[in-house]
Amino acid sequence: MKKTFSARFLGILLGTALAAASDRAQAATPPIFSAITRSGFSHNDLAPHEWKRTVSNLLQRLFPGALVRESAEMVTMHLWEPMLKNGKILSPVQTIEFSVIEDLNANAFALAAHPEEGLAAQVKITRPLFDVVQNESELAFVISHEVSHIRHDHFSVQFPASMLTSSQRDRITRTHQRWELTADEEAVARMRGSNFDQLSSLEILDRLSERSAFLKTSCLHNHPALEERLENIKTSLLDQPVFGFETAPALHDR
């Protein structure tokens, strides 16, 4: 199988294989965050209307000016924020579709819009992620991280790795790593603006990395080391007084 360097899938941890999306209609259960203080969620109990309500509430809080609608299989957000690329405005408004897919790993990832095919940008959340997130703030971090990838057009053309020189591969890797740090920073800033608990960003990243067997056994080609992401977020948090952290250590080069 050809190995490709691609940013088509920008996961919160690692892009996963895209599983067939299916929303299983299931019996109604209590709102998914009601069980936080007990044992987290059981994704088997997660009915479509529950994740949709939760995600649309979060989006309305994170993006107050956006138009958020629930439909049969997804939540759609029309965001009156410009789509940026290298500081240039590509589009004044963005449409992003959020849906839940079946997958073995807890993850979320972004897919680029393809306007010529009439396809909006998408954020896919894998069902096991709802087992791992323990509160709204953690899910808010994951979602705003993915939206940042879309807003900044963090997508690159796919090339088979064999077509690239090692220095080209290194440059692509560094770019992808920088994108991850940027998306983390923007997610934390957005959480701050919407009064979510910013420390949750550290907790969910840490927990996701612990829970992901795939992450432990895979090379982190496109993602900076977890430690680097955590330190970067802590520095973002230190933009305002936050208790519980020591002074920010020296960070990566930019």
Interface residues with Zn ion (CB under 5 A)? 10, 180, 183
Contact 140, 202 (CB under 8 A): no
Q: What is the DSSP letter of 35?
A: G
Helix (H) or strand (E) holding 122: strand 121-126
- The distance of closest approach from Cβ of residue 145 to Zn ion in the complex, given in angstroms and rounded to an integer, is 6
Q: Which is nearer to Zn ion, 32 or 176 (CB)?
A: 176
- The distance of closest approach from Cβ of residue 244 to Zn ion in the complex, given in angstroms and rounded to an integer, is 25
Phi, psi of 69 (to 5 degrees): -130, 145
Residue nearest to Zn ion (CB): 10
- The distance of closest approach from Cβ of residue 176 to Zn ion in the complex, given in angstroms and rounded to an integer, is 9
C-alpha span between 54 and 50 (Å, rounded):
6
Q: What is the DSSP letter of 119?
A: B
Q: Which is nearer to Zn ion, 58 or 150 (CB)?
A: 150
Q: What is the DSSP letter of 73?
A: S
CA distances from 37 to 34, 41, 74, 94 (A): 8, 10, 27, 35
Q: Which is nearer to Zn ion, 79 or 183 (CB)?
A: 183
Q: Which is nearer to Zn ion, 50 or 180 (CB)?
A: 180
Q: Which is nearer to Zn ion, 127 or 223 (CB)?
A: 223
DSSP string, 150-170: HHTT-----EEGGGS-HHHHH
- The distance of closest approach from Cβ of residue 11 to Zn ion in the complex, given in angstroms and rounded to an integer, is 6
Q: Which amino acid is at 156?
A: S
Tell me if residue 133 falls in helix, strand or coil. coil
Q: Which is nearer to Zn ion, 53 or 178 (CB)?
A: 178
Total number of residues shown for the chain: 254
- The distance of closest approach from Cβ of residue 218 to Zn ion in the complex, given in angstroms and rounded to an integer, is 15
Per the rule left: phi > 0, alpha: psi between -120 and 50, beta: everything else, 40 is left
- The distance of closest approach from Cβ of residue 184 to Zn ion in the complex, given in angstroms and rounded to an integer, is 8
